[in-house]
Amino acid sequence: MVDFQALEKQKTEADRQKLLVSQPGEMQALQRQLAAKGLLASGAMLKQVLAVCQETITKQGKSIANEYQWAVTHSLFASQSWVERLVADGPLILSPLYNAATAQVIKATQIAGMTSVAERLLSDLAQTCSVIEADVALALRSAIAEKHRGIIFSLLRLILKPFTGDRP
């Protein structure tokens, strides 16, 4: 199990690094596009920056959920406590991305000259992060529950096989 956990953690961290590296470029491209339209110092820019940051966090959350679900379903000895450790890893993996997104939002509010809305935007970003963390936790807990359910049904079929007359 530890090998699965380490492997999946490496994969999700690699995904996070790609997102961290690409995010500043996306922001610069967005700012150039908005500057060409005369919208650089506007609420529209802030809305789009927030959307890009939220999308980045959402992508990372999906990556975490997918990779860790794979580990849960393929591990022979997956347990609820192991899944809870994976659930606890989710926020730790998301944290650097959330911090980078926070910095991007603050920078955007400064560029737009609208620092007064920073708190509201950061609240929206934090809420997105919380939702993603909850989604990851639910996906992992569901994966282990499904795995346990499948094992129980398989065992029941095996135990009841002599009584039901089923042939292999």
Single pTM value for the model: 0.74
Closest CA to 100 of 30, 22, 47: 22
Say how many C-beta atoms besides its own lie within 10 A of residue 83's C-beta: 23
Full pLDDT tens readout for the chain, 168 residues: 456 667 667 777 777 777 767 777 777 777 777 777 776 677 788 998 999 999 999 999 998 898 888 888 888 777 888 889 889 988 998 999 999 999 999 988 998 888 899 999 999 999 999 999 999 999 999 988 888 888 787 878 888 777 776 655
Say how many C-beta atoms besides its own lie within 10 A of residue 168's C-beta: 3
Q: Give the Cα separation of 33 and 37 in Å (integer).
A: 7
Half-sphere exposure of 2 (CA within 13 A, CB side): 0
pLDDT of residue 4: 63
